[in-house]
Structures are given as structure tokens and as C-alpha cells.
Homo-oligomer: A and B are copies of this chain.
């Protein structure tokens, strides 16, 4: 009997088996079209249907109001780090970035090419465990073009769900928490996510943007980074990444079949709670994020004794649990559990964590 393998990689992430089976069927011929899904034209009716269905499903899952557009754009979050200031700074002199860790800082650092960046302290590390400050405590300059936030920091595994009332438009990087957090879209002006975690494969981003934030853009904005052009042309500004959009559509369909966003959020909680309980029970292991901000998606932990980590990773590999190496900047172990990760995978890993 072949051992079942569970993949905990940070992204590209595990896809549900049913989704992979559907894709497999469409490689030689897509829906009696005579051609492969890999050959489908971005100007075909079939692709138009794929985009429409994906947008309708995403809109339903998040209750996205009609005054928000949904865009599909080339490239991942790093390209969006540039697109955000290019599209949104406008006449303003600066943009604010909530600093909660590696990715939020990286987003701000790339924006510096186009505007002055004001970092807002987002962490309270004066206490033993790192916490995210509550939204009311953030010191945001209200003349900023926007406040950028990263609701899930993947490297240390820190998460928050609400930004509360902020006077400037809030831009959120949902790359690692798309369809995994119960957020209220109305709190945000723009939300973006690269698709390689909960929406399929790398090379594509989804952008949700409120109508009043579309254009005018910085003069130096590449066409393919313009939100207004993508809205105007229904995301077909050039040859769209057809296959990546198709996988995103299948992932959205799958989420709906599983019961929708609430079920995904619940499953993420279940999986992560199993791991955190095992970590907290083991005196050799440490996770230094306060409970209210522990990520339900990326569970990171370490040990003062490197051997404990090495042995745990080895034991996991023998059990068919792979992709658990911590981020190269943090070391230790990181279990990334996106929507494609079954509860069984978390159970198996929790058993190993207890025994470590």
C-alpha cells in the first residue's frame, strides 16, 4: 500500500484531490471543445465563462458588494506590491504600511520607489508573546493615500481578521489567507491575493477593488499593472493566464461544494488548534505568538535544541508529511495548511509534535 503523503508547503500549496482529478481530465480535451484547457483562447466564450463563474463565486463567498470590481492580473503578490502604490498614491504625498512582520515590511519597502512610506507599528512585543495591536491603537496618518495591511504573516504565523474603522482606504494582502478568514469586505478598499495558496497555482493574482479607487494612476504604471485597464477590459488586457484562471475557478467551486467560507474558516481553526495544543504541551517546543493572533493557516514553531527539530522533520518525512521546513529566515518548523489540507494531515502531525 502506498503511504498517503500530506504536503505542508507554504506555496505553491496543496490542492484538493478532486480538483486535481478534474484538471487531469481536461488536459487532453476540455469539455468536448476539441482542445486542451491548456490551449483555450483568452478570447473564447469558454474562457469568458470561466472568468464570469469565478467572479460570481468569489462575490458570493465573500458577499462582495456590487461597487467592487474583481480583477485577474498577471504575476504574484510581489508585483502587486508595486501595483498598489502605482495605482493608489495619486496626489497624496505618502502611504501608510502596518508593520506586522516580514511581508508587510517587504510591501512597504517596494512602495518606496513611488512614494514616501510611513510604517505604522502593528506589533506589541513588549510582552512575552508577540501580539498584534488592536486596530484602534494603530497610529495612522489620515492624509495617507491608504493603509496597507497583511492580515496573515506567513513566516512567524501571525494573524488578525478585522481592521475596524480606518479613515483612509485599507489595502489588504490576502495572499496567504484568501478564503480562509471571515473578513468583512466593506472594511477594505482593495484586497489582493496571489493565487498559489488557496486559489490554485502561481503566476496570477486576484484583486478586489472598490469602484471609487480605480484610476488615475501614476504616469509610470505598466499597462499590465493598471487596475483601471483590467476593470475596463474584464481582465483581458493581453493574453490572460488562462490555465491559472481555470484552476482558480475550480478552487472556488470546490470551496462552495465544501460548504463555503464559514466551513473553510472552521476547518482552519480545527487544524491549527490541534497543532498549537500539541506544541504548548511539549516543553521542548516554542511558539511565541500570543493566542489571539496565532495564525490558523501557518503554524510556526522552533526549539532551543536543533536536534529536536531535525528529528521531528525526519520522522514527519517517514510518515509522508512533507514541506515542513521553516522559512529560510526563521528556521524551525512551519506547517502551512491552506484549504486543500485535510484534517487528517494535522492529526498526524500533531501526534508527531507531541512525541518530539
Contact at B24–A219, with CB atoms within 8 Å?
Answer: no
Q: Which residue of B lies closest to A41 (CB)?
A: B9
Q: Which residue of B lies closest to A203 (CB)?
A: B241
Contact at A74–B74, with CB atoms within 8 Å?
Answer: yes
**Across the interface, which residues of B come within 8 angstroms of A77, CB to CB?**
238
**Across the interface, which residues of B come within 8 angstroms of A86, CB to CB?**
222
**Across the interface, which residues of B come within 8 angstroms of A15, CB to CB?**
36, 38-39
> What's the nearest-Cβ distance from chain B to residue A233, in Å?
11
Contact at B28–A27, with CB atoms within 8 Å?
Answer: no
> What's the nearest-Cβ distance from chain B to residue A76, in Å?
5
Q: Which residue of B lies closest to A19 (CB)?
A: B38
Contacts A24-B27, A223-B110: A38 and B239 contacting too (C-beta < 8 A)?
Answer: no
- CA separation between A118 and B114, bound complex, in Å? 27
* Binary contact readout A72-97 vs B (1 if CB under 8 angstroms, 0 otherwise): 00111111011100100000000000
**Across the interface, which residues of B come within 8 angstroms of A42, CB to CB?**
12, 202
How many A residues, CB 8 Å from partner? 63
- CA separation between A13 and B40, bound complex, in Å? 8
Tell me, yes or no, whether A35 is within 8 Å of chain B by CB.
Answer: yes
Tell me, yes or no, whether A307 is within 8 Å of chain B by CB.
Answer: no
* Binary contact readout A11-55 vs B (1 if CB under 8 angstroms, 0 otherwise): 111110000110110011000001110111110000000000000
Tell me, yes or no, whether A194 is within 8 Å of chain B by CB.
Answer: yes
Contact at B24–A240, with CB atoms within 8 Å?
Answer: no
Chain B binder among A164-172, A242-250, A291-299, A345-353: A242-250
Contact at B24–A223, with CB atoms within 8 Å?
Answer: no
Contact at B224–A75, with CB atoms within 8 Å?
Answer: yes
**Across the interface, which residues of B come within 8 angstroms of A145, CB to CB?**
none
Contact at A5–B35, with CB atoms within 8 Å?
Answer: yes
**Across the interface, which residues of B come within 8 angstroms of A204, CB to CB?**
203
Tell me, yes or no, whether A123 is within 8 Å of chain B by CB.
Answer: no
Tell me, yes or no, whether A207 is within 8 Å of chain B by CB.
Answer: no
**Across the interface, which residues of B come within 8 angstroms of A41, CB to CB?**
9-12, 323
Contact at B24–A12, with CB atoms within 8 Å?
Answer: no
Contact at A219–B39, with CB atoms within 8 Å?
Answer: no
Contact at A11–B201, with CB atoms within 8 Å?
Answer: no
Contacts A13-B39, A247-B38: A202 and B240 contacting too (C-beta < 8 A)?
Answer: yes
> Within the complex, which residue of B21, B78, B114 is in contact with A223, where a contact is CB–CB below 8 Å?
B78
* Binary contact readout A211-229 vs B (1 if CB under 8 angstroms, 0 otherwise): 0000000111111110000
**Across the interface, which residues of B come within 8 angstroms of A28, CB to CB?**
20-21, 24
**Across the interface, which residues of B come within 8 angstroms of A203, CB to CB?**
74, 203-204, 241, 243-244
Q: Top 10 nearest A-B pairs by Cβ distance?
A: A203-B241, A5-B34, A82-B222, A78-B238, A74-B75, A203-B203, A24-B27, A220-B220, A79-B224, A202-B239
Known contacts A9-B35, A12-B39, A202-B242; 13 additional CB pairs below 8 A are A9-B41, A11-B239, A12-B38, A20-B36, A74-B79, A75-B79, A79-B222, A82-B222, A110-B223, A201-B241, A201-B242, A241-B241, A243-B243
